[in-house]
Amino acid sequence: MSPFLAGVTWLIVFQCAGEAVVWASGAPVPGPVVGMGLLLAALALRGGRDADPAKPLGAAADGFARHLSLLFVPAGVGVMLHAGRLSDEGVALAAALAGSTALALAVAGLVFQAMVRRADRRDSGAGEMDRPE
């Protein structure tokens, strides 16, 4: 079996497992999201990047990334299908898009600043401990 097909098989297995978990629990979370969480946990338990399924998953990810533009076709068709509704609610959608983008940038900036401060504290603390007395 090619590495790409093996990787796609891993993705489908974990997506199905996620769907089963959502179906059994009734959780209001999409099954593929739960499946990706399960895949992350499985890779972490098996050693992360050097784990056995990591290479086929990388091949599958590379294959999907090469054809990523095809994944936008359904979204484009949906936009054209609902063009009238988009024109009716365009102002509200634009406001929501601008607001959520600004909020996401602000949160990302605050998290980045906090991580830089944390790294600086860790580096300055390590330097003091390494000094000979």
Determine the distance from the C-alpha atom of residue 90 to the mean position of all C-alpha atoms in its chain, rounded to a whole number: 28
Q: Which residue has the higher pLDDT, 15 or 45?
A: 15
| Long-range contacts of the stretch 95-98 (C-beta < 8 A, 24+) | none
User: Which positions ≥6 away from 57 have C-beta within 8 Å?
Assistant: 7, 10, 11, 39, 43
- The mean per-residue pLDDT over the stretch 81-93 comes to 89
Q: Which residue has the higher pLDDT, 32 or 48?
A: 32
Q: In this predicted structure, what is the pLDDT of residue 86?
A: 84
The residue extents of the domains of the chain are 1-66, 73-133
Q: In this predicted structure, what is the pLDDT of residue 115?
A: 95
pTM for the full model? Answer: 0.54
Q: Which residue has the higher pLDDT, 118 or 68?
A: 118
DSSP 91-130: HHHHHHHHHHHHHHHHHHHHHHHHHHHHHHHHHHHHHHHH
What angle, rounded to 10 degrees, do the helices at 31-45 and 3-25 form? 120
Closest CA to 21 of 44, 42, 43, 37: 37
Q: What is the pLDDT of residues 90-102, one digit of tens each?
A: 899 999 999 999 9
Percent of the chain with pLDDT over 90: 45
What is the torsional sign of CA 72, 78, 83, 89?
negative
